[in-house]
Amino acid sequence: MKYGEICVMTTTLASEAVAEILSDVTGEAVSITDKNDLLSGSWDYADTGLLEGYPSEAAVKGFFSPEKEKSVTEAVEARLSELKKYVANCGSLKISVSYGDDGEWLENWRKSFRPVDFGKIVVCPVWLECLSEKPVLLLNSGIAFGTGTHETTAMCLKLLQKVDLTGKTFIDVGCGSGILGLAALLMGAERAVLVDSDVQAVDAAKENAALNGLEDKCVFVAGNLCDDVEARGVVAANLTADILACLAPELSRVTLPAGCAVVSGILRDRLEKTLELFEKNGFGIKETLTEGEWSAALLVAPEDAR
């Protein structure tokens, strides 16, 4: 079976933002090839010939069914034009399309992942072996959901480690693969509510919960984010600035009074305005993080949150 591959050339700083666009448009996983990853010190050594084989810009690739080429290309072009309004240096943003065999691509995609140490836990794709004394979260996310390497997810995990989760309910709004909710359980939470409007995401979260023996501690909700959640607890919402803006008035209803909430998926140039909306709804800003073009924040809900 054939698959379509759309490739966008961009800068290192903009690569994650472009990856988010390709993921949103195609509904599939993406890959990033960037020689700066080799130069940054994240590899023990880099062969000169290997570096010479890398493109001068970061290559971000997404995948789609061949019959969707026109709609995918047009949607990506429109989103990239919007991105340039918020990100100063996006590089060439040159788009190319090619085709290949899906079995070969899946194997190459899996090779791009490795276990990631986030401090208190290690996140590891199920097809890899991980030897660690820390709690290991195994993920079998398939091609449509990530395994924790995206900056927005990584920042959520970093901020959550600054929150006392012991014995608390954790609510993962827009759960995707379930990584944040399941990680919270490994870090001491008593129960996790995993909610997503995408039924496929909820199914992936269920699979990953069972893989880690955590299904008995989870509640799965296929619904409209906060609208279908009755519990209150520590909250994480790794979404987009636009969706978070809509959720700002509602998020306090599911967050414990004076409790913590982590929001992520915000382009750095939109962080200030996004946080202003949460402040207007009574949230305090405890800490912010920015990696690449993305930002996240640790919020504190109002004491009289209802």
Average pLDDT over residues 168-176: 93
Question: What's the rounded mean pLDDT across residues 94-120?
Answer: 73
Provide the pLDDT for residue 20: 83
Average pLDDT, integer, range 104-121: 69
pLDDT digits (tens, 9 = 90+) for 26-85: 877 677 777 665 444 333 333 444 444 456 788 888 888 888 899 999 999 999 998 888
- The pLDDT score that the predictor gives to residue 48 is 42
How does the average pLDDT of the chain come out, rounded? 83
Query: What per-residue confidence (pLDDT) applies to 42?
Result: 37
pLDDT for 293 equals 80
Mean pLDDT of the region 113-128: 80
pLDDT-based confidence at residue 111 (cuts at 50, 70, 90)? low
Higher-pLDDT residue of 266, 149? 266
Residue 306, judged by CB atoms within 10 A of its CB (0-12, 13-18, 19+), counts as: exposed
Digit-coded pLDDT (tens) for 8-27: 999 988 888 898 888 888 87
For residue 291, what pLDDT is reported? 87
**Residue 233 pairs with which residues in a beta bridge?**
255
Which band of pLDDT confidence, cut at 50, 70 and 90, is reported for residue 141? low
pLDDT for residue 234: 97
What pTM was computed for the model? 0.70
Residue 96 is predicted with a pLDDT of: 93
Binned at pLDDT 50, 70 and 90, residue 229 comes out as confident
